[in-house]
Amino acid sequence: MNPRLVAVGDNVVDCYPDLGVMYPGGNAVNVAVHARRLGAASGYLGAVGTDAAGRVVRAALAGEGVDLSLLRVVEGPNASATVRLVAGERKFTGGQEGVSRFRLTAADLERLAEADVVHTGECSLLEDQLPELATAARRLSFDFSERPWEYVEAHARHAGIAILSAPSGARDEAHALARRVRDLGPSTVAVTLGSQGAVLVRGDETAWAPAEPITVVDTLGAGDAFIARLLVGAVRGEDLPDLAAAATAYASAACASYGAFGHEAPLDATLATPRDAPAAVLPNSKESA
């Protein structure tokens, strides 16, 4: 079957001043694009700006065949982040929120109810609307990234699928964390471990898959690629060990090129100078596995 997926929330242009280029990205955008590449009928609900960065995001989504009927185009600058690469690992050094914040409407929720799975995450800043979103969605996926336990505990009950990141964690600790989150309500929990692979828990079943060996160019968006493969496989009813292996392999492959999913564009002059900001407020500050 071809799953129907809608990703809700953040988008951004990732600016690489050292390379003089920028790429479209953001957790929700990346998941929507990768899900489409994996055969899903995917859509994106979020807000883009009217500047060059916003046009890059829109063009990339349209070019990938992502449904944009729920997209808002808002006067003003698009969200952006400045990225530096150190041995392939991305480091966020600045950014701006732009017009990225928005509110879900009753009409949005009605449309989202038609999807097999709806995805959002901590970068989308929609926590206060999670109860409504969880009620409307057939299945809600939420990316907690590396948020502290208090945040996870407060919001996990709304998610059917929860994804967390522990890039420096041990496998046994990841299994324990996944089971702890499962006990809060989600039926499926994934904990990504960066170069060590990922742990999945579904009910009483657990699985682990190592990361595929690959020459890493850029880890940006690898975690979002993992999420997309996880969601598409979950809707298709794949066995947990196969799902873990496929999602981890897909995430590894995403590290072989620059940007979250390609669509390189020349760095716009207005974005060439990074705006200093703490990484915690950047729209997609946790895109890697």
Among 34-48, 77-91, 152-166, the least confident range = 77-91
Tracing tokens 């997926």 back to the chain, one arrives at 5
For 134-164, the pLDDT digits (tens) are: 999 999 999 999 999 999 999 999 999 999 9
Q: Is residue 75 pLDDT above 70, yes or no? A: yes
**Domain map of the chain by residue range?**
4-264
What values do phi and psi take at 34, rounded to 5? -65, -35
Instruction: Tell me the percentage of the chain whose pLDDT exceeds 90.
Output: 75
| Domain 4-264 CATH superfamily | Ribokinase (3.40.1190.20)
Please check whether residue 10 is in contact with residue 75, taking contact to mean a CB–CB distance below 8 angstroms: no
Burial 193-207 (b: 16+ CB within 10 A, else e): bbbbbbbbbbeeebb
Side-chain-side CA neighbours of residue 193 (13 Å): 20
- Which residues in the chain belong to E strands, given as ranges? 4-8, 12-16, 21-25, 41-45, 47-48, 72-73, 80-86, 89-96, 117-121, 140-145, 161-165, 188-192, 198-202, 205-209, 265-266
Distance CA 150, CA 271 (A): 35
Q: Is residue 282 pLDDT above 60, yes or no? A: no
For 253-272, the pLDDT digits (tens) are: 999 988 889 898 999 877 75
